[in-house]
Amino acid sequence: MKVAKGITSRAHPLWLAYIMHRLSGLALAIFLPLHFWVLAMAMTDPVRLDGFLHLTEEGVVKLAEFGLVFLLAIHMFGGLRLMAMEWLPWSTSQKTLAAGATAVSFCIAVLFFMRAI
């Protein structure tokens, strides 16, 4: 209750962007060792690796996979946003425009890519 109140009192867009960036980064850092460990099975235990990869067909694992891709995407775009804000001496409206243009072009590129394959 106290925590929730503490969060709502500072839940403005930039603070939410900060907390998303931090939590997604934390989650990715925790996931990475597992990811590396599974991939190394190609060397140590290829049959088990295939078992793991077949798991990705399962609904829950698919959802988790989607989550990871989502985390990676928001961490990257959040980070690029941060660096643009810190290093580019642009005005706020220019940055908003640039971020909007990037997001739109990324969506178009992904859609195009998904249709192409």
> Which amino acids are annotated as binding site for heme, given as ranges?
75
Does position 58 interact with other proteins (CB under 8 A)? The reply is no
> CA 25 to CA 62: how far, in whole Å?
20
- Residue from 27, 72, 74, 98 binding other proteins (CB under 8 A): 72
Tell me the site size for other proteins, rule CB under 8 A: 54
Min dist. Cβ of residue 84 to other proteins (A):
10
Does position 31 interact with other proteins (CB under 8 A)? The reply is no
Distances (CA, A) of 47 to 43, 55, 62: 10, 13, 20
Contact residues for other proteins, defined by CB under 8 A: 5-6, 8-10, 12-15, 17-19, 21-22, 25-26, 28-29, 32-33, 35-37, 39-44, 46, 49-50, 53-54, 56-57, 65, 69, 72-73, 76, 79-80, 82-83, 85-87, 89, 92, 110, 113-114, 117
